[in-house]
Amino acid sequence: YGSEYAQQLKKSLMELIKDTAWKFPVEYILLAEDGCLIFSANMARLLDFSRDLLKRTYRLNLISEDYEKLNINLGITNGQDVKTHNQNIKGPSFDAIHLAVKLSTLSLDNIFNTPEEKDLFNKNNRILITHLAFQQLNNKNNYRVHLLNDLHIKYFKQPFSLLEVFWHDPIDELNFGFIKNFSRYELLEDLTGHNEFKTFKARDPVLQRFVIVKIVQSSQFNNLPAQHEVRIEFTNYLKNLGKLQHANLAIIYEYGEENGLSYFIREYVEGAPINQTFSEMEQFDRDRFIHLVSQLGKTVIYCHDKNFCHLNLSPSNILVSDRDNIKLMDFKIDATSLPWEENPAKVYYLAPEQVKNQTGDQRSDIFTLGLIFYEIATGVHPFAEGDPQDIAEAILYKHVEPPSHLNKNFPAEHDNWIMKCLEKDPEKRFQTVHELMKVIKKYTHAKFPLNFSAPV
């Protein structure tokens, strides 16, 4: 009709709706660009309202063809499911509404010139939108797009194009191996474990080195607007984490977003998990044990002094090279972290307060350090029994035997500090890793000098 005449029609229609609502009162009328929804708990009144409005609009439109008349759809709805821009619509009557009428200006069955174009819209599960509408989608990276040109539709003088969009999840494409390159990195091996990140060993063709690519798996997170507080928290945390520089920390190289997926790149580290240091009891070496404990303690001290609690310590995040140098990696990132109940594999190395989903602190890291030291010393995880729920219960309530009871080669004088790390009550543990390392130094005597400065 042209925009000016369309506005006149819209204004006239508004007046008719108000007049009809005076004759046949209904609970709510919600207006939209393509029509309106009329709600009433009374079926007869709803039908009277619709019939009267339709009869009067036929005269208004001055038309004769059926496909140009207003289209009516009668349905049942739950008022609580109705989302509107007007947050002031409240009250018990709205919650109780069960009937609705939708009036729309066009019937899709009659707007196309050819059967082929009409058939386009009759197929199920197809989404066709304009270019402008596509640009306004927050999660447009989750769609593949196919352009449909030269569609001839009634009321439009010129043919126009639409986008047919297909929903897809980029994480699924990563899982099935359809994506071979991410940003500039060539994906070589899927290393994803039980965590919030899709993890790959990758090759950087520019700097000619291997790296680790970690991609946030949560579609809910990836679809958040760039200025959402959770996205900003994620970015700021990685920015500050990237400033940490320590010989025993895996370096964060970069972070960003690619095809709608948030990611960061960190140093690739060769090595074995620290709990595989002594595969058999008779291989236990006291000097080597203290060397690893010293490195790990100094590294965690450095992080804590920089106001970073790791809160995700586990043997797989502490790798030991063939020269017995350790690398610590993969801090907990609150913005993407899930409760352990949603990712049960995480429970193995949680402190009791983390099992309760309370906020962890330095003392939580100290508990997990004690747990890892215990496992290195004995070859046994003291709480690994049964399913994840059983493990959670054991972490909360089970009291463990001293390490020297399980490994005759482990010096009994070291039992006390490991057992103090494993106290259920955070107040009874060492309060800082500085305290812990001073006690270890006391037991090692001059034979095992420990330098607690943080090498960079």
Question: pLDDT for 107-151, tens place per residue?
Answer: 444 445 556 555 555 555 566 677 776 776 666 666 777 777 666
Q: In the sheet where 209-216 sits, what is the strand order? A: 181-182, 185-190, 197-204, 209-216, 261-267, 252-258
Architecture per CATH, domain 272-456, reads as Orthogonal Bundle (1.10)
Mapping DSSP to helix (H, G, I), strand (E, B) and coil, where does residue 124 land?
A: coil
**What CATH number should be reported for the domain whose range is 1-110?**
3.30.980
Helix-helix angle 362-378:433-444, to 10 degrees: 30
At residue 442, the pLDDT reads 82
pLDDT tens string 353-392: 999 999 899 999 999 999 999 999 998 999 988 889 999 9
- Alpha-carbon distance of 243 to 246, in angstroms, equals 10
Average pLDDT over residues 299-311: 96
- Segment 167-185, tens digit of pLDDT: 667 777 787 777 889 999 9
pLDDT bracket for residue 408 (50, 70, 90): confident
Does 329 have pLDDT greater than 90? Answer: yes
Q: Which residue has the higher pLDDT, 161 or 317?
A: 317
Strand (E) or helix (H) holding 1: none
* Per-chain mean pLDDT for the chain: 79
Sign of the alpha-carbon dihedral angle for 392, 395, 398, 400 = positive
Q: How far apart are CA 365 and CA 384, in angstroms?
A: 19
Top-confidence residue, 164 or 373: 373
Mean per-residue pLDDT for 282-310?
A: 90
Provide CB contacts within 8 A for 446, sequence distance 6+.
Answer: none
Cα separation values, 4 from 1, 12, 16, 137, 308, Å: 8, 13, 19, 28, 61
Enter the pTM of the model.
0.65
Contacts of residue 330, defined as CB under 8 A and 6 or more positions apart, other chains included, come to 195, 214, 250, 266, 312, 317
User: Could you give the CA distance from residue 349 to residue 149 in angstroms, rounded to a whole number?
Assistant: 57
Whether the per-residue pLDDT at 25 is higher than 70: the answer is yes
pLDDT band at 216 (very low <50, low <70, confident <90, very high): very high
Structure tokens at 80: 């609580």
Q: Is 247 helix (H, G, I), strand (E, B) or coil?
A: coil
**H/E segment holding residue 298:** helix 286-305
Pairing of strands 35-40, 99-104: antiparallel
- Domain ranges for the chain, please list them: 1-110, 272-456
Residue 302: which region, alpha, beta or left (left: phi > 0; alpha: psi -120 to 50)?
A: alpha
In this prediction, residue 94 carries a pLDDT of 42
**Is the pLDDT score of 270 beyond 70?**
yes
In this predicted structure, what is the pLDDT of residue 337?
84
Identify whether the C-beta of residue 165 lies closer than 8 Å to the C-beta of residue 143: yes
For 48-159, strand residue ranges (E) read 71-76, 99-104, 127-129, 143-151
DSSP state of 454: -
What would the mean pLDDT of 316-324 be, rounded to a whole number? 92
445 has pLDDT over 60: no
d(CA 325, CA 275): 14
